[in-house]
Amino acid sequence: MTDDILQARGLSRAFRLPRRALFERRRTTTALHPTDLEVRRGSAVGIIGESGSGKSTLARLLLGLDTPTTGSVEVAGRDVDASARARRLHWLRRMTGIVLQDPYGSLDPRMSVGRIVGEPLWALGVTGDRRARVREVLVQVGLSAEAADRFPHEFSGGQRQRIALARAIVHRPALLVGDEPLSALDVTVRAQILEVLRGLVRDDGMTLLLVSHDLGVVQNLCDEALVMTEGRIVERGSTRDVLQHPHHAYTKRLLAAIPTL
């Protein structure tokens, strides 16, 4: 057994673009060029890079939410076949949690927050006191246990983002992939959620893969950082090295663009 919880080989994704004219050849755009990636069990890896650089595309492919054009992904040594029917990816759902970039889209407005957050427990057949676990995790992300009885529209953007996070961690996944999971939070709540995530990595051995525009978040939480631009990982190293001694021109520009306080 390897130390890597996640392994991608030659992973790429091209999208077809709509034809501009009837007889035009179909054009494609490459969101992700063939990419290799390993993530060690128990590590926290940040993915940074400009808008449109392929971060969300990569995150979705890694969790089997999208089918690669080429290449393969293994989670804990098992092949992720995104074309397999949902039931066959049960093991993957059990091991992983994801916070999507658009948390509103992923919260069913007709379901109570308790049902939304608890859904993975029921869907995956996790045993134990599931209602108590839902309440516990709501409190953990800084909401009240009573939030379980309310509906998504009754919450602010930052609160909904925490509902999405609660749902992603309720079944104690071994690997959490967060796509901008803290972007709607104010500084105090963000600090609290950073502490929750840090605790999951440090105390529970969870592996974290975090996409973020916020270099402060990556610096705070991640021991390794990846920099993406134009569908490629152009730099990878310890967060400290990447942020303090960037090699790639893009990373240098990215860092230079941060206003200094």
Ligand X SMILES: Nc1ncnc2c1ncn2[C@@H]1O[C@H](COP(=O)(O)OP(=O)(O)OP(=O)(O)O)[C@@H](O)[C@H]1O
User: What token pair was written down for 201?
Assistant: 């990595």
51 binds ligand X per the rule CB under 6 A = yes
Query: Radius of gyration over alpha carbons of the chain, in Å?
Result: 19
* Segment lying near ligand X (by CB under 6 A), choices 2-10, 45-53, 114-122, 150-158: 45-53
Bridging pattern class, strands 175-179 and 207-211: parallel
- One residue of 35, 56, 161, 207 binding Mg ion per CB under 5 A: 56
67 binds ligand X per the rule CB under 6 A = no
105 binds ligand X per the rule CB under 6 A = no
Strands (E), 110-254: 175-179, 207-211, 224-229, 232-238
Spell out the long-range contacts of 180-184 with Cβ–Cβ below 8 A and sequence spacing 24 or more: 180/99, 180/101, 180/211, 180/212, 180/213, 181/99, 181/210, 182/212, 182/214, 182/217, 183/212, 183/213, 183/214, 184/103, 184/157, 184/158, 184/160
* Total residue length of the chain: 261
* Segment lying near Mg ion (by CB under 5 A), choices 11-19, 50-58, 104-112, 239-247: 50-58
106 burial via Cβ count (<10 Å: 0-12, 13-18, 19+)? middle
* Residue 64, contacted partner among ligand X, Mg ion, none, CB below 5-8 A by kind: none
The least CB distance from residue 99 to ligand X, in Å, is: 13
Closer to Mg ion at the Cβ: 69 or 101?
Answer: 101
- One residue of 31, 148, 165, 197 binding ligand X per CB under 6 A: 31
68 binds ligand X per the rule CB under 6 A = no
Distance (Å, whole) CA 103 – CA 164: 6
251 binds ligand X per the rule CB under 6 A = no
Closer to ligand X at the Cβ: 174 or 234?
Answer: 234
* Residue 52, contacted partner among Mg ion, ligand X, none, CB below 5-8 A by kind: ligand X
* Residue 53, contacted partner among ligand X, Mg ion, none, CB below 5-8 A by kind: ligand X
The least CB distance from residue 212 to ligand X, in Å, is: 9
220 binds Mg ion per the rule CB under 5 A = no
122 binds ligand X per the rule CB under 6 A = no
Closest CA to 44 of 229, 181, 232: 181
List residues binding ligand X (CB under 6 A): 15, 29, 31, 49, 51-57, 101
